[in-house]
């Protein structure tokens, strides 16, 4: 309450007015604060109200705001995962229905007409699957990976291409947790790409344009540019700073400049006519006659070792003449010149790619760099992508088109005498091709080790897998008995056929050249060539219910009269595994009334169904994580809001009482000021 001390009974009017005004102002300020608290419902409205509480409230405000963003992320993630779960569920149900059709068609009697009717149903399932896997959610296309604005699956002449990129988009849930909101790994939703893995180390040579980042260095751990030292004939060491080098050419220029300066300063000749350059995969130094050069690292540095100019025990010395340092193992890049790839045995020509029943011959003779090779192959429009393998030694050709078994990828030579595909290591069938990869991983099944149940003895006649009948007048028959060691590679297979053929021909009184087996010079497939004088075609028949002739492509082969050769079908094709390929195979099996094809497609569908179910389970696990995160976030936010409320919100009862008291205090102060303002000097003299 505004009152005046008794000791100020006689004071100047100015002082009395100042004291009165100060007391009234203080009361008005307190009254204003109380009014603001009642109006806003907050006891702390600015930092000056309570610095400690204000700082705590600011931190809580930030936590609550971040929590609100996380809740939005969680809601977004929940919606996306729900869409993924729905799409995967629909895809799984469609695949199950297709498998049921496959099982029904091979377990119950059906004719060609009925199977063609079922093929029409499978075709509609393909359309349904296509629409399902192109589903859009709140984040865009849910199976598009990181490119959610681009339709992930497109149809190309009856085949299906996944054109998504990246591993998918993720959202943050807090506490270092993230969950995917799109899927980008095509294998996860049964659309796994397949590849022809390069079989040749292209062994790029070092060039002056090679980036230091493109070589692992002599230690295989990358190159760390720094300072090195060199000495001539064991003399004083001279430091050379290579820290600014980006390419091998920069290193050569810097070292050459430093050594030339040393020659000028000391009146000696260090470098010969070859100076410093590259040789194969190493730096090379031509030291003048009668001299030697040695390089060292400074302190704990490893730059000289990385460049192959020194070794760990400092025993590497460059004697007089031209000599190379340690191999830097340059990796392939798209900038690598074709001419620097020492692994190429001849100049590039053309290759033939067949995919989705379409073929393209690609002329690579004009390619200057590996990037040119990539561009020319991909521009052929057959649905492939060229990649450098993980080791950086060769290239792989990735098949992106789900076109079924009949539309799988094959890479062959373009013509007689052209071995470009094999030269690049990308021919899909070579002598070293594993037979276990034939028939899309099913391999080659043979009969072996038959035991007669009556005698208990081995009966080799039951191990014969197929018989080759020559086109001579005597119709000479050659039995082929394949053993496990014969079905390792194409070469071991060819060797076994030639071995058994030679023995059978000798027994029939025919020369060994009457029949030879080999890998086709241009076309993929095992080729059986008979004597050109034989007038009839070669015939091949399976024996003992062996699947070898079928698995090796002989039953689907063709006879070429001009070359007197029987060319087996290509069984080393690369098929994109997945739900689209499985449905295409099932549709074609039904259309062609092919019981074996229907059964194989049904088995493949089982794998795709399992993969879809597994992926759906993973999505369900993420959904549970989202639900848990949502509950945890709500609890955390509720607690923070409670704490903030206890610090910031006003106690209305206390504030109202204080407001009323301040009103009374202000009224009393005003009355006291009014009374004191009426006093005169006469009031003090009486």
- pLDDT tens, position by position, 195-219: 899 999 998 989 898 999 999 999 9
Q: Are residues 134 and 247 in the same domain?
A: no
Q: Are residues 80 and 187 in the same domain?
A: yes
Q: Is residue 96 a part of any domain in this protein?
A: yes
CB 3 within 8 A of CB 16: no
CA distance 516 to 478: 12
Q: Is residue 84 a part of any domain in this protein?
A: yes
Instruction: Identify which of 461, 472, 478 has the alpha carbon closest to the alpha carbon of residue 540.
Output: 478
Q: Are residues 297 and 360 in the same domain?
A: no
Q: Residue 6's pLDDT is what?
A: 45
Last residue of a domain, which of 509, 544, 567? Answer: 567
The answer to whether residue 683 scores a pLDDT higher than 70 is no
Q: Are residues 67 and 180 in the same domain?
A: yes
CA torsion 558→564→568→569, rounded to 10°? -50
Q: Is residue 663 a part of any domain in this protein?
A: no
Beta carbons within 8 Å of 672's beta carbon, 6+ residues apart: 2, 3, 4, 20
Last residue of a domain, which of 537, 567, 597? Answer: 567
For Cα atoms 376, 378, 384, give the angle at the middle one, nearest 5 degrees: 145
- pLDDT tens, position by position, 493-502: 999 999 999 9
Please give the average per-residue pLDDT across 589-615, as a whole number.
91
- pLDDT tens, position by position, 289-319: 989 999 999 988 999 999 999 998 888 999 9
CA distance 249 to 229: 18
Q: Residue 650's pLDDT is what?
A: 77
Cβ-based burial of 476 (10 A; exposed 0-12, middle 13-18, buried ≥19): buried
- pLDDT tens, position by position, 128-178: 999 998 988 888 888 888 888 889 889 988 899 888 777 778 877 766 677
Q: Are residues 128 and 163 in the same domain?
A: yes
Mapped onto helix, strand or coil, the DSSP state of residue 320 is: coil
Q: Are residues 284 and 311 in the same domain?
A: yes
Q: Are residues 67 and 154 in the same domain?
A: yes
For 293-304, b/e burial (b = at least 16 CB within 10 A) is bbbbbbeeebbb
Which range, 9-18, 44-53, 279-288, is most confident? Answer: 279-288
Window from 35-49, 52-66, 81-95 with minimum mean pLDDT? 35-49
Q: Is residue 161 a part of any domain in this protein?
A: yes
Please give the average per-residue pLDDT across 54-83, as a whole number.
84
Rounded percentage of the chain residues whose pLDDT exceeds 70: 94
Q: Are residues 183 and 239 in the same domain?
A: no
- Between the CA of residue 70 and those of 48, 148, 351, 629, what are the distances in Å? 32, 21, 54, 9
Q: Any idea what DSSP says for residue 140? A: E
| DSSP H or E stretch at residue 366 | none
Last residue of a domain, which of 520, 538, 567? Answer: 567
CA torsion 486→488→492→494, rounded to 10°? 90
Q: Are strands 558-560 and 170-174 parallel, antiparallel or unpaired?
A: unpaired
CB 312 within 8 A of CB 302: no
The answer to whether residue 466 scores a pLDDT higher than 60 is yes
CB 643 within 8 A of CB 36: no
Q: What is the number of domains present in the chain?
A: 4
Window from 445-449, 560-564, 654-658 with minimum mean pLDDT? 654-658
CA distance 187 to 290: 63
Look up the domain containing 95 and give its range. Answer: 63-193+579-633
Q: Is residue 676 a part of any domain in this protein?
A: no
At 78, the pLDDT band (50, 70, 90 cuts) reads confident
For Cα atoms 260, 265, 266, give the angle at the middle one, nearest 5 degrees: 100
Cβ-based burial of 227 (10 A; exposed 0-12, middle 13-18, buried ≥19): middle
Q: Are residues 307 and 378 in the same domain?
A: no
Q: Is residue 453 a part of any domain in this protein?
A: no
Window from 17-21, 290-294, 399-403 with minimum mean pLDDT? 17-21
Q: Are residues 247 and 303 in the same domain?
A: yes
CA distance 69 to 171: 11
Q: Is residue 651 a part of any domain in this protein?
A: no
The answer to whether residue 481 scores a pLDDT higher than 90 is yes
Q: Residue 7's pLDDT is what?
A: 45
Q: Is residue 168 a part of any domain in this protein?
A: yes
Instruction: Identify which of 490, 200, 206 has the alpha carbon closest to the alpha carbon of residue 345.
Output: 200
Q: Are residues 583 and 563 in the same domain?
A: no
For 32-61, b/e burial (b = at least 16 CB within 10 A) is ebbebbeeeebbbbeeeebeebbebbeebe
| DSSP H or E stretch at residue 180 | strand 177-180
Q: Are residues 377 and 483 in the same domain?
A: no
């Amino acid at each position: 309450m505004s009152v005046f001390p008794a000791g100020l009974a006689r004071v100047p009017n100015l002082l009395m007015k100042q004291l009165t005004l100060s007391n009234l102002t203080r009361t008005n300020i307190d009254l204003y604060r109380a009014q603001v608290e009642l109006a806003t419902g907050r006891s702390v409205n600015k930092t000056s109200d309570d610095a400690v509480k204000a700082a705590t409230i600011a931190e809580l405000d930030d936590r609550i705001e971040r929590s609100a963003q996380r809740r939005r992320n969680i809601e977004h993630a929940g919606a996306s995962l729900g869409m993924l779960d729905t799409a995967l569920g629909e895809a799984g149900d469609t695949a199950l229905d297709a498998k049921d059709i496959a099982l029904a068609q091979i377990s119950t009697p059906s004719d060609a007409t009925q199977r063609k009717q079922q093929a029409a149903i499978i075709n509609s399932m393909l359309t349904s699957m296509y629409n399902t896997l192109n589903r859009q959610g709140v984040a865009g296309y849910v199976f598009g990976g990181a490119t959610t604005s681009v339709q992930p699956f497109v149809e190309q002449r009856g085949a299906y291409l996944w054109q998504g990129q990246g591993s998918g988009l993720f959202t943050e849930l807090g506490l270092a947790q993230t969950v995917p909101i799109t899927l980008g790994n095509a294998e996860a939703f049964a659309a796994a790409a397949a590849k022809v893995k390069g079989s040749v180390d292209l062994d790029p040579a070092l060039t002056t344009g090679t980036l230091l980042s493109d070589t692992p260095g002599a230690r295989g751990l990358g190159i760390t540019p720094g300072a090195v030292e060199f000495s001539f004939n064991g003399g004083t060491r001279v430091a050379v700073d290579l820290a600014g080098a980006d390419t091998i050419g920069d290193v050569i220029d810097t070292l050459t400049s430093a050594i030339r300066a040393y020659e000028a300063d000391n009146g000696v000749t260090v470098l010969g006519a070859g100076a410093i350059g590259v040789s194969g995969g190493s730096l090379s130094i031509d030291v003048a006659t009668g001299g030697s050069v040695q390089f060292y690292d400074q302190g704990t540095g490893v730059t000289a070792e990385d460049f192959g100019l020194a070794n760990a025990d400092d025993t590497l010395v460059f004697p007089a003449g031209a000599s190379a340092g340690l191999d830097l193992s340059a990796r392939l890049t798209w900038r690598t010149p074709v001419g620097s790839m020492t692994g190429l045995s001849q100049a590039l020509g053309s290759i033939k790619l067949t995919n989705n029943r379409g073929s393209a011959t690609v002329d690579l003779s004009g390619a200057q760099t590996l990037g040119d090779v990539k561009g020319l192959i991909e521009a052929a429009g057959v649905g492939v992508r060229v990649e450098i393998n993980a080791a950086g030694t060769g290239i792989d050709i990735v098949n992106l088109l789900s076109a079924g078994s009949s539309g799988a990828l094959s890479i062959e030579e373009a013509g007689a005498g052209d071995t470009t595909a094999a030269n690049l290591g990308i021919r899909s069938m070579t002598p070293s091709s594993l037979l276990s990869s034939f028939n899309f991983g099913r391999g080659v099944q043979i009969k072996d080790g038959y035991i007669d149940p009556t005698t208990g003895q081995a009966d080799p006649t039951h191990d014969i897998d197929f018989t080759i009948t020559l086109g001579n007048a005597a119709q000479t028959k050659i039995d082929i008995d394949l053993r496990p060691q014969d079905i390792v590679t194409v070469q071991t297979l060819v060797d076994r056929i030639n071995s058994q053929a030679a023995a059978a021909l000798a027994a029939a009184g025919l020369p060994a050249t009457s029949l030879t087996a080999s890998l086709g010079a241009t076309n993929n497939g095992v080729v059986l060539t008979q004597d050109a004088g034989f007038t009839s075609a070669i015939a091949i028949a399976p024996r003992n219910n062996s699947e070898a002739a079928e698995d090796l492509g002989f039953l689907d082969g063709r006879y070429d009269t001009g070359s007197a050769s029987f060319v087996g079908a290509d069984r080393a094709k690369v098929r994109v595994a997945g739900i689209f390929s499985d449905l295409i195979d099932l549709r074609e099996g039904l259309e062609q009334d092919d019981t074996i094809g229907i059964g194989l497609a049904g088995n493949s569908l089982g794998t795709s169904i399992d993969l879809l179910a597994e992926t759906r389970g993973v999505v369900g696990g993420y959904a549970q994580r989202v639900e848990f995160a949502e509950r945890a976030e709500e609890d955390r936010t509720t607690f923070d809001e409670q704490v903030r409320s206890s610090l910031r919100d006003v106690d209305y009862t206390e504030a109202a009482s204080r407001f009323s008291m301040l009103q009374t205090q202000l009224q009393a102060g005003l009355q006291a000021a009014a009374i004191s303002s009426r006093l005169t000097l006469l009031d003090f003299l009486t």
